[in-house]
Amino acid sequence: MATEHRFNGPVKLEVKLEVKLEVKPEVKPEVKPEFQIIGGGLIGLSTAYALLKRGVSVRIIEAREGVALETSFANAGMVHASLADPWNGPGVGRQMLGSLFGRPSPMTLRLSALPSMAGWGLKFLKYSTPARHWRATTANYKLAEYSSSLIHQWRKELSAKDSREDMGLIKIFRDGTTFAKAKALTDKLQLLGLKAECLSADSAAEKEPCLAPIADNIVGAIYYPDDYKADAYTFCQALESEIIKLGGEVLTGVTAKSLLSEQGKVIGVRTKTTDLLARTTIIAGGALSTDLLRPFGKPLPLRPVKGYSLTFENIVGSNGPKLPVVDDNLHCAVTPLGQSIRIAGTAEISGFNSSRQLKRLTPLLDMLRNIYPRLAQDLSISDGKVWHGFRPVSADGVPFVGKLKPGLAINTGHGHMGWTMSAGSGEMLADILLDVPAKLDEQPFSLTRH
């Protein structure tokens, strides 16, 4: 049996939507902070840290027994502004439809998810036109680029031991068409400031010598020197410690069941045992953010897109691979993190389906075999730690960061970019909430864009 991380899939949060409860829980006004954040993942923690640094009071409310045990736990560990393009690129509709009939596709759509897809799914397709997709890519890139350097600064402040190595990231290509498409996108992103280098297969093997055995199988590669690898969960733990040091409150094992409002203003949340009040409540609940917002108007165009990771510990020696490698076609990545190697990817639209399917893990191990055959030769899935998480994917692939209504703000929808965009999104929301001119244009991230 494969050993499993502490994370066993999302708990059933059972966010009941009824606003009227028979017994009114006890209210403790004396502990009312200025801001309270629903969700202690990468985004909630980053928002809390950005706010606390400005001297305001913050409380985090997290349903799990600790912070960052949902989607921020064992992701691919890459901070990658180079991958800013949303997954609903032109042609995605055809691919998703094909996946219903068993055709291989980077995004797999499950029949069972179709009924819940109606509004989001149509918008997801609507935003896949070249012009709209490029607009979304531009917004994401700017936030990702800003965020990547901020994470660097925060790491130093936090003394985070997150196995970061600034070596860049490499994308490899096995066919000319995909390579040409990726080069065209990279050329456009270079105009926005992305640094990139196109490589022959031999030069790719020089950058990462462990790629030498497969050099004959690849047509080329693109190297992104400013991307880097680092473990998101360790970073989250460092953030939590610093948040507590700065006087922030972190409540774990507490589920926000509904929002409380008075005269059109959100005043806090109701939990099983008490009402928790704050001047502003921020929703940073990842893929679960939709539940709390449902009674407040239009549904949030956000859906969970499931992904897996497989981590093999203590297998990377001093001559082992160093660079994270991405296979763009498959939305898969192989990241060496310290002495471990993590293969992460797959994108499945199947709602909050927590079952673990062996057939989803096999392509991950196959990918390791196709990239680092020597390292993978004696490994089987049962030697690895299996994890899955639900990426919060917005209909246009751009996160929601901003005020929603009096007393209520949002920071979610970061999809495959949540680690990369974490610090930047937290900082941007802190600017918005404290009326400081933001360093980035906020409009592309506002909910009103839909």
Give the residue with the Cβ less far from ligand FAD, 272 or 374. 272
Minimum distance from residue 236 beta carbon to ligand FAD (Å): 8
Give the shortest CB-286-to-ligand FAD separation in angstroms: 3
Q: How many residues bind ligand FAD (CB under 6 A)?
A: 45
Is residue 76 involved in binding ligand FAD (CB under 6 A)?
A: yes
Q: By rule CB under 6 A, what string of x and - marks binding of each residue 286-305 to ligand FAD?
A: x-x---x-------------
Q: Which is nearer to ligand FAD, 285 or 336 (CB)?
A: 285
Q: In this chain, which of 44, 168, 321, 444 binds ligand FAD, going by CB under 6 A?
A: 44
Of 281, 339, 350, 340, the closest CA to residue 309 belongs to 340
Residue from the set 260, 420, 429, 444 that interacts with ligand FAD by CB under 6 A: 420
- Segment 356-415, which members bind ligand FAD (CB under 6 A)? 389, 391-392, 412, 414-415
Site for ligand FAD (CB under 6 A): which residue of 81, 136, 284, 293? 284
Given 189, 417, 432, 447, the residue binding ligand FAD (CB under 6 A): 417
Kindly tell me which residue out of 7, 70, 120, 266 binds ligand FAD, with binding defined by CB under 6 A: 70
Sites for ligand FAD among residues 222-261 (CB under 6 A): 255-256
> Residue 41 or residue 444: which is nearer to ligand FAD going by CB?
41
Asked if 41 touches ligand FAD (CB under 6 A), the answer is yes
* Minimum separation from the CB atom of position 364 to ligand FAD (A): 9
Of the pair 80, 385, the CB lying nearest ligand FAD is at 80
Q: Does 140 bind ligand FAD (CB under 6 A)?
A: no
Residue 52 binds ligand FAD, judged by CB under 6 A: no
Is residue 64 close enough to count as binding ligand FAD by CB under 6 A?
Answer: yes
Footprint on this chain of ligand FAD (rule: CB under 6 A): 13, 15, 38-44, 61-64, 68-72, 75-78, 80, 255-256, 284-286, 288, 292, 307-309, 344, 389, 391-392, 412, 414-420
